[in-house]
Amino acid sequence: MYKNLEYWKNKVAIVTGAGHGIGAEIAQDLIDIGMTVIGFEPTENRVAEMCEKFVSSKGMGQLVPCKCDVSKDQDLKNAFEGIVDTYGGVDVLINNAAIGKEGLISTGDISDLKNVIDVNIYGLIACTRFAIQSMSKKEDAGLIININSICGHYMPPFAEPKINMYIASKRTMTVINKLIKDELKSLKCKVRVTSISPGIVRTGIFKTAGIKFLDEEFFEKNPHLTTKDVSNVVLMVLAAPRTVQVNEVIFHALHELY
């Protein structure tokens, strides 16, 4: 599909939230180009579901399921130590794991707010820190791709505020991406960081999060992206020359309102 993807064959990628939705699509595509994909999911059930979804690849890639909750330091420590011991470190990190909850910041369930922060913000930072340490053990420069959202840049045109906790976490991700990129530059570290911000994607996250207005009827009536669209943009970033820094990719479905 893209040139230069051959470079990533036999290299190691971590995909967080790899068992479903966008993460599963990205993981399968990375396997298909010959990568070893370490798929992070937080529970045994999710890991089992992940194992059932993936198919063998002509590119000779493979899936390595890993029970790892990105909001828990010990899980991350164990996972990354195992990756260094087995593969010498990681080459690509796809920070995809995120949760959404319907509710306002001022009045929503405080435990929901904490869970969103723990996964979407703290998990992103912690996983990134471990990945940078791991990437430094390899000679080739690593790549971190953060799956952000268009609402990390623009307020969505919803009639009522419904998912403000999620929007706040994605706005925070936009800032974190810029700060980490600048830090790595000042440290003269070769690791590249890219933020990918899609518009509305048809996934199951809205249903599991209890976000009722983004239902099947909404997707039937409104332009939207597919998980494959997002994965194709990830492959596009991977195909870019390794001397190129892709800072941000913002995209949405044709005629989507933004």
Could you report the per-residue pLDDT of 176-214, keeping only the tens digit for each? Answer: 999 999 999 999 999 999 999 999 888 866 666 566 667
CB 31 within 8 Å of CB 61: yes
| CATH architecture entry for 5-249 | 3-Layer(aba) Sandwich (3.40)
CB atoms within 10 A of CB 251: 15
Packed helices 21-32 and 227-239: angle between N→C axes, nearest 10 degrees = 40
11 vs 53, residue with greater confidence: 11
Cβ within 8 Å of residue 163, ≥6 positions away? 100, 101, 102, 103, 209, 211
CA–CA dist 76, 43 (Å, integer): 14
Q: Does pLDDT of 215 surpass 90?
A: no
Confidence of residue 230 (pLDDT cuts 50, 70, 90): very high
Region 64-76: mean pLDDT is 97
Region 98-107: mean pLDDT is 87
Amino acid at 203: T
CA–CA dist 194, 170 (Å, integer): 14
Cα separations in angstroms, 244 against 186, 217, 225, 250: 17, 41, 26, 17
CA–CA dist 94, 145 (Å, integer): 5
- Residue 35's nearest CA partner among 5, 55, 65 is 5
Per-residue confidence (pLDDT) for residue 217, from 0 to 100 = 77
CB < 8 Å & 24+ apart, contacts of 72-79: 73/126, 75/42, 76/126, 76/127, 76/130, 77/130, 79/38, 79/40, 79/130
Per-residue confidence (pLDDT) for residue 136, from 0 to 100 = 86
- Residue 76's nearest CA partner among 64, 65, 66, 87 is 66
Q: What is the DSSP letter of 117?
A: I
Q: Phi and psi at residue 147, in whole multiples of 5°?
A: -85, 100
Cα separations in angstroms, 19 against 32, 56, 148: 16, 16, 18
Per-residue confidence (pLDDT) for residue 121, from 0 to 100 = 97
Region 108-118: mean pLDDT is 93
Q: Does pLDDT of 219 surpass 80?
A: no
Tokens of 214: 């983004």
CA–CA dist 30, 39 (Å, integer): 11
As annotated, the active-site residues are: 166
193 vs 217, residue with greater confidence: 193
Tokens of 175: 């800032």
Helix (H, G, I), strand (E, B) or coil at 188: coil
